[in-house]
Structure 1
């Protein structure tokens, strides 16, 4: 997967300005200025693996999505973030659909993510077909919900 490949996102209706591309190492500083949940070396590593996507709208940085592999075999979305001005326009849902499509193209039949039980994001993911499959209670933090979506079921439902 080339870091310079630009992908136009047909997953985002009425947002012709939206472009999704694979992050490049030159994006790391910008991403780190927003994302305090990852070390610089880990971010550079997953950028090298092609596991970070950038969303741009009218040529401006709008957000990013990064993922890893749960149990080394199931794509797990670790971070989905849109800048405030780009929220509420369907861009987040389109970004997730783009990621799911990419994961299906790579041969995966299931994807996962998580969110704190006190965050609205759980409802966002439920609307996109994710089911709560478990959770855990990090020390001093809200209960973390684990969500999963079967991509092959969605393919059959189309």
Structure 2
């Protein structure tokens, strides 16, 4: 059974390793602000969801990652549903996320979980393809 909770200081080393592109300083900042959820099975961390707030208001799912051996077993969905419930509990009415335009599997996952495409942005020098944004109305 998957257990989802906010990450704690004790999870920082694991998160810094598994969310390596973020860097340990950013991971520590996000943990301190409550912007990570972790999923555990049998007491072991098997995935995480990192989020922020677009314009300081709209909950934005930046990254969701499940360890390879646990993918397609409901861990990502459990993380997402826990985040959605927490954001709804904070009064959010809209959620955002994104993926690179050539990432069809993540986009399919977003659509299965109620997101709709809302536009794309080109980020020259940062990405070779546009970033596609998705929204989900929750309130």
| TM-score normalized with structure 1 length | 0.82
- Structure 1 stretches of at least 4 aligned residues deviating more than 4 Å after TM superposition: none
For residues 20 and 128 of structure 2, the distance between their equivalents in structure 1, rounded to whole angstroms, comes to 17
Three-state SS of the structure 2 residue aligned to 1:43 is: helix
* TM-superposition CA deviations, 1:115-141 (whole Å, max 9, x none): 111111001001111011111122242
| Alignment pair present for 1:141 and 2:131 | no
How many equivalent residue pairs? 136
Three-state SS of the structure 2 residue aligned to 1:68 is: strand
1:82 matched residue in structure 2? 66
For residues 46 and 36 of structure 1, the distance between their equivalents in structure 2, rounded to whole angstroms, comes to 13
What is the root-mean-square deviation of aligned Cα atoms in Å? 1.1
1:67 matched residue in structure 2? 51
| TM-score normalized with structure 2 length | 0.92
Structure 1: any 5+ residue segments left out of the alignment?
Answer: 1-16, 153-158
1:38 matched residue in structure 2? 22
Structure 2: any 5+ residue segments left out of the alignment?
Answer: none
| Alignment pair present for 1:18 and 2:5 | no
